[in-house]
């Protein structure tokens, strides 16, 4: 039973081909990629543009929900930080399933383009480069769910993820690489891709040099490698962009749609669903006041409470320029340059707070500036998909307080997430471990 194959890994997510060289076969009615343009078309497919698992919003302290204690759905399991998200071994597992499917498709591109017909070498390099960045992004998202938070002292032994690069379903499934090895592979994918990427692309779903730099900034921020995070943040911010002044809009529907919004660097849509109507937690609500136009534009009151709204267009979970500015502000505060950090915070706020009520914020020291940067990050990036990422890294620094799920009827604590809790790491899905019984688990 020790020989487990790629087929079994992908059977666990609903992807399987009986032919181990399916690109050599041309089934009737099925388009097999042969040309560079065929492979490029895969980059535009929902599988590779809708790569954000909405489940990550369930985990975060931004969100309030009302699942019953008997609810065993992935949403409830994530909301209460139960060990396993998808307990149904017959179902494709949440997060793991769609992202390994996306990784499989990127591997089809990476393996197939060099032998494809048509296209120049530069075009081939660009298509492969985009696939490398998307693959890296998918692995990075999964790390925040199925691996421990990064700790430089233990990363070389903490389990990461199976790093799959093959599309041959009879190849043996690789074991879980270490957390450090997985992150090294993510960084290698993106840095390898950069030279082949364009400065601009046909739309914001497609990858550019600048969006690759933005992803590297995120990865290094997660690793607390602040010099490299600063380097790549500054490189990403060289992309042409504009911060929108919400004071200039009387109605949120007059704002640009996400994929034309000059604040969006790289758009990523949800695998399925959106946060619209998800409820703000009391904690998140405490960060806003009536002067904040974000509270006006991005909330909606419904029968259950204060829900999330969205800007026009398909909701974005990708990298934005406000995120990059707030990352830069954080890094400046960590360097002791707290006045410069607050200048950035005030630039964001000037574009988000009603002009009549606006007052610059200030800080007396780096720590005070850092706290105010984090508060602005919480406001600006609410429901953007970054909060679980932030909670994981803040917990490593001892900055996360215990998070509680309060029963709205009884006021009892239905679940809690204490600092340094193993609940910050979800277990490998049941279906995956069933097909791969030798795969190392997180909770032993």
On the question of pLDDT at 24 being above 70, the answer is: no
pLDDT of residue 68: 83
DSSP state, residue 411:
-
pLDDT of residue 21: 32
Residues sharing a CB contact under 8 Å with residue 212, sequence separation 6 or more, in sequence order: 129, 133, 190, 193, 194, 197
pLDDT of residue 13: 53
Percent of the chain with pLDDT over 90: 86
Q: Which domains does the chain have, with CATH numbers?
A: 1-207+418-444 (1.25.40.390), 229-400 (1.25.40.390)
Query: What is the biggest distance separating any 2 CA atoms in the chain, rounded to whole angstroms?
Result: 70
On the question of pLDDT at 316 being above 60, the answer is: yes
pLDDT tens per residue, range 48-79: 999 999 999 999 999 999 888 789 999 999 99
Contact 286/353 with Cβ under 8 angstroms?
A: no
> Mean pLDDT of all residues in the chain?
92
Provide the sign of the torsion angle of the four alpha carbons 307, 313, 318, 319, taken in this order: negative
On the question of pLDDT at 6 being above 70, the answer is: no
pLDDT of residue 2: 39
pLDDT band at 18 (very low <50, low <70, confident <90, very high): very low
pLDDT tens per residue, range 199-208: 999 999 999 9
pLDDT of residue 257: 94
What is the distance between the alpha carbons of residues 399 and 18, in angstroms, rounded to a whole number? 49
Determine phi and psi for 50, rounding to 5 degrees: -105, 80
Angle between helices 179-194 and 121-146 (to 10 degrees): 150
Give the global pTM. Answer: 0.93
pLDDT tens per residue, range 271-314: 999 999 999 999 999 999 999 999 999 999 988 899 999 999 99
pLDDT of residue 303: 86
pLDDT band at 23 (very low <50, low <70, confident <90, very high): very low
pLDDT of residue 31: 60
């Amino acid at each position: 039973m020790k020989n487990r194959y790629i087929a079994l890994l992908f059977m666990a997510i609903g992807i399987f081909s009986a032919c181990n060289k399916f690109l050599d076969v041309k089934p009737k009615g099925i388009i097999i990629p042969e040309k560079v343009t065929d492979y490029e078309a895969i980059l535009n497919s929902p599988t590779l543009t809708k790569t954000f698992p909405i489940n990550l919003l369930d985990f975060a302290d931004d969100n309030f929900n009302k699942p019953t204690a008997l609810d065993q759905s992935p949403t409830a399991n994530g909301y209460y930080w139960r060990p396993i998200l998808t307990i149904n071994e017959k179902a494709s597992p949440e997060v793991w399933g769609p992202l390994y499917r996306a990784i499989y498709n990127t591997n089809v591109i990476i393996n197939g383009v060099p032998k494809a017909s048509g296209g120049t070498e530069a075009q081939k390099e660009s298509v492969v480069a985009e696939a490398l960045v998307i693959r890296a992004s998918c692995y990075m998202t999964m790390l925040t769910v199925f691996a421990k938070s990064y700790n430089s002292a233990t990363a070389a032994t903490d389990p990461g993820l199976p790093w799959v690069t093959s599309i041959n379903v009879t190849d043996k499934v690789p074991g879980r690489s270490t957390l450090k090895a997985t992150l090294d592979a993510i960084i290698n994918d993106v840095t390898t891709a950069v030279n082949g990427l364009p400065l601009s692309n046909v739309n914001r779903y497609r990858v550019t040099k600048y969006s690759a730099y933005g992803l590297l900034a995120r990865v290094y921020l997660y690793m607390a490698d602040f010099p490299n995070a600063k380097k790549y943040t500054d490189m990403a911010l060289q992309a042409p962009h504009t911060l929108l002044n919400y004071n200039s809009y009387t109605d949120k529907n007059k704002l640009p749609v996400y994929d034309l919004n000059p604040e969006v660097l790289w758009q990523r849509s949800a695998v399925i669903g959106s946060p619209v109507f998800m409820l703000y937690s009391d904690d998140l609500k405490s960060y806003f006041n009536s002067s904040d136009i974000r509270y006006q534009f991005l909330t909606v009151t419904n029968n259950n409470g204060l829900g999330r709204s969205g800007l026009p267009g398909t909701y974005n979970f990708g990298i934005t320029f406000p995120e990059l500015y707030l990352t830069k502000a954080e890094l400046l505060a960590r360097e002791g340059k707290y006045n410069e950090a607050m200048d950035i915070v005030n630039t964001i706020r000037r574009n988000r707070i009603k002009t009549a009520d606006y007052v610059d914020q200030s800080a007396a020291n780096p720590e005070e500036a850092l706290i105010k940067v984090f508060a602005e990050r919480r406001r600006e990036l609410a429901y953007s998909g970054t909060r679980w990422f932030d909670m994981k890294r803040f917990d490593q620094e001892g900055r996360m307080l215990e998070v509680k799920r309060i029963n709205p009827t009884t006021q009892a604590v239905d679940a809690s997430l204490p600092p340094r809790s193993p609940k910050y790491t979800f277990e490998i899905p049941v279906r995956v471990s069933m097909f791969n019984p030798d795969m190392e688990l997180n909770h032993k």
